[in-house]
Chain A
Amino acid sequence: MKNALFLVPLFPLVGFLANGLLYALGARPARRDFKHDPHGEQAAAESGKDEGHPHAHMHGETHPRFKSIHSFIGVGSVALSVLFAFGAIFDVGVGTLASGGSHVITLYRWIALGVNQSTSQVPGKAAEWFVDVALRLDSLSALMIAFVTFVGFLIHVYSIGYMGHDRGYGRYFAYLNLFMFSMLVLVLASNFLLLFVGWEGVGLCSYLLIGYDYHKKFAADAGKKAFVVNRIGDFGFILGIFGIFALFGTLDFGQVFATAAATPERFAPYLTLVCLCLFVGACGKSAQVPLYVWLPDAMAGPTPVSALIHAATMVTAGVYMVARCNVLFRLAPDAMLVVAVIGGFTALFAATIGLAQNDIKKVLAYSTVSQLGYMFLACGVGAFVAGMFHVMTHAFFKACLFLGSGSVIHALSGEQDIRKMGGLGLKIRTTYITFLIATLAIAGVPFLAGFFSKDAILAAVFEAHFSQAPWLGKTLWAAALFTAGLTAFYMFRLVSLTFWGTYRGSREEEAHIHESPRSMTVPLVILAFLSIVGGYVGVPIVKGGDQIGKFLSPILLPLAGGEAHAHEAAVSAELLLMAASVAVATVGILLAFFWYAKGNGEVPRRIAAAWPGVYQAVYNKYYVDEFYDAVFVEGLGKGGGRLLWDFDRSVVDGAVNSVALLTRAFSWVASAFDQYVVDGAVNGVADTIQAGYQVFRKAQTGRVQNYALVMGAGLFCVVMAYLLFR
């Protein structure tokens, strides 16, 4: 089974090709196929609600037969991936993985340069360098593929129900499968280059899926924005890869990390720069400041896409990468500082924006950014295990939250503004309960998954020590704690406004409210369950409770001459910290409950009115998008373009034109030369001869006597010559 590891990414790839081919070759419904889709596009276009709404589907039923083929292929391939992923993990052995075992299967040699191609020795010099397509199964990648495939599978099932009425059904599943393939390649890669291939692949799929409703301009724009901002991060990532290659001469994980751990002093001076470059890539992919701006806009894509890509999997790729390179980061304390600061700042920053948002998905988007900040904060202080733990629990409850919001939107036939919701708790019970469970988890309520992982992070941050700025550890902890409170607050604000209170929408919409089909609710239930139990692999304090820590510890290679573990806190300190986080969460929940559920939002409105400037700033996301637009898009992009165009016109064209002018001048000189000198010479000869003959002509008088005279003169000359030279 373990040698069949390559099947794990292969199945989704096959699914993509099959679905894509089928779709491209005509599984699409005809434009005005009224026979097959009674809901017809025209009808959909005429219904005003869908038109203006940011999330209306492209209506038009796919043919039922095709639909089932598409779903079968799409979901089936991921199901097989799940099976083979778990099979491979258990085949290698959980215990083996936990004690540092890794299983690498090499598929083929991708890039082979130089002489030493046949051996599998890692070369030291570029002359013998090669890159293989090789997959690596160790504790970190096993954890990742476990929840990536499973959550992905659940979301595929959910999509059957959610995207059921959509025209581009086959296309959707094709892209989704492609995404799974790319993500699995990313996670299973055993060298930086293959990881980058997966990295780019998920970026591409993000673009394709965000801009899925390409007819809608803002969706297409959001897709482009995501891709472009990602690309900026990728640039940094590539520079980091270059740096690693330059330092180590190889891109294979095992070799790089082993070398770095064994002889850290050789590499440490350079690693700060390399790690910062890698982190730039992580910022782009995982939406940290300043490259987070694409994530809120990415909510223009279908909700399952948001759930899968922007909650559970793609955005965690950055954290995964940082965790994977923990050896390098631990050798570069300055880079770790930057990671921690940015993570902490992003967490707080995004949480504040989330307070004032009115779109259900936007709130969740900013929440995602904030939680990602937590993960990076954890990595920044050295608690890579805690960070990965939070990645896993976050995948569960965030996916549940997104899918739940999708369910709400589906129930309300497209409404996303929470100001128009309310009182849905009784109407859509399953959705409400699962959503509530997930919200409790994210808020950090004890004994749910989020509590354990968030607490692990907070404990690690509290104990963190930065030699460059000793005050930083506690400051970050305070910020993280405050952010936890904000998280609890805005999530319960969301719940209050959506499910509690009274319905604020119109009468006929209220009549349409219906619970989602089973294909959508079952995944919700499963995810909610996981949100409850998912945290028990990392129970602190209790001996033997930190299973995940044990499981992941081999990825934290021991550094030669460095400390092997992060700081451990004393039990009493741990308990105090736990109490603090619980207290903060409680405050947040109660505040939200009283202000929104009981108080109908009166107090927040007064606060907003009292400080209108602050409210406007927060509501408008601190105008960051406008700033980027002005500086980069208009300024650098268009201004730079204009500058270059002017440069081209004046300098380049000027140069070209002056060369042309010079050529013309030269040609004029040449022609003048030809005209006056050459022709002059030729004509001059002719004219001279002509003048000459005019003179000689006079000798031809036609009179014989003249000739006789001349003859006599000639005779005289001859005789004289003879006489003189006799």
Chain B
Amino acid sequence: MTITINHYLIVSFLLFSIGFLGVLVRRNFLTVLMSIELMLNAVNLNLIAFSRRLSDLTGQVFAVFVITIAAGEAAIGLALTISLFRQRKTLNVEEADTMKG
């Protein structure tokens, strides 16, 4: 089976779009966060593929950074979740519409 860079791109894109869909669709805040992680992973996949193609380590280094940032962002997001839960007693994103209008 010959796998070209295109395949990698398609996979990464599909992963990304699933994650995007999850952000749009899910009502639970935690699930939304998890979908965001998925999107980040898709990006990493892309980076690695291109790194291989271009025989350049930059892609991998970058992917490391992405992971780092993802970790930090997940930490913050989860802390926010807890804080949100304490305030509203709900994790329904649809109810976070105080900026409505």
Contact = CB atoms under 8 A, between A and B. Distances in A.
**A and B touching (C-beta < 8 Å)?**
yes
B23 interface: yes
Q: How large is the interface on B (under 10, 10 to 19, 20 to 34, 35 or more residues)?
A: 10 to 19
A709 B96 CA distance: 16
A534 to B, nearest CB: 126
A712 interface: yes
A702 B97 contact: yes
A700 B93 CA distance: 15
Nearest to B25: A705
B24 A708 contact: yes
Interface string A694-708: 000100111111001
Given A709-B24, A712-B20, A703 B98 contact: no
B100 A702 contact: yes
Contacts of A701: 97, 100
B98 A702 contact: yes
Contact of A704 (B25, B93, B101): B93
Interface string A665-679: 000000000000000
A708 B32 CA distance: 12
Q: How large is the interface on A (under 10, 10 to 19, 20 to 34, 35 or more residues)?
A: 10 to 19
Contact of A702 (B20, B32, B101): B101
Contacts of B1: none
Contact of B96 (A700, A702, A708, A712): A702
B101 A697 contact: yes
B97 A708 contact: no
A704 B33 CA distance: 13
B13 to A, nearest CB: 12
A129 B100 CA distance: 100
A712 B24 contact: yes
Contacts of B94: 703
A211 to B, nearest CB: 98
In this complex, which of A701, A705, A708 has the most chain B Cβ atoms within 10 angstroms of its Cβ? A705
A702 B25 CA distance: 16
Contacts of A700: 99-101
Contacts of A712: 20, 24
Interface in A677-726: 697, 700-705, 708-709, 712
Interface in B3-60: 20, 23-25, 32
Nearest to B17: A712
Nearest to B99: A702
B21 to A, nearest CB: 9
Contacts of A708: 20, 23-24
B24 A705 contact: yes
Contacts of A703: 93-94, 96-97
A705 B100 contact: no
B23 A705 contact: yes
A703 B98 CA distance: 9
A420 to B, nearest CB: 119
Contacts of B24: 705, 708-709, 712
B49 to A, nearest CB: 20
Interface in B82-98: 93-94, 96-98
Given A700-B99, A702-B99, 7 more contacts: A697-B101, A701-B97, A702-B96, A702-B101, A703-B94, A704-B96, A705-B24
Q: Which 5 interchain pairs have the tightest Cβ spacing?
A: A702-B97, A702-B100, A702-B99, A709-B24, A703-B97
20 contacts: A700-B100, A700-B101, A701-B100, A702-B96, A702-B97, A702-B98, A702-B99, A702-B100, A702-B101, A703-B94, A704-B93, A704-B96, A705-B23, A705-B32, A705-B93, A708-B20, A708-B23, A708-B24, A709-B24, A712-B20
Interface of B: 20, 23-25, 32, 93-94, 96-101
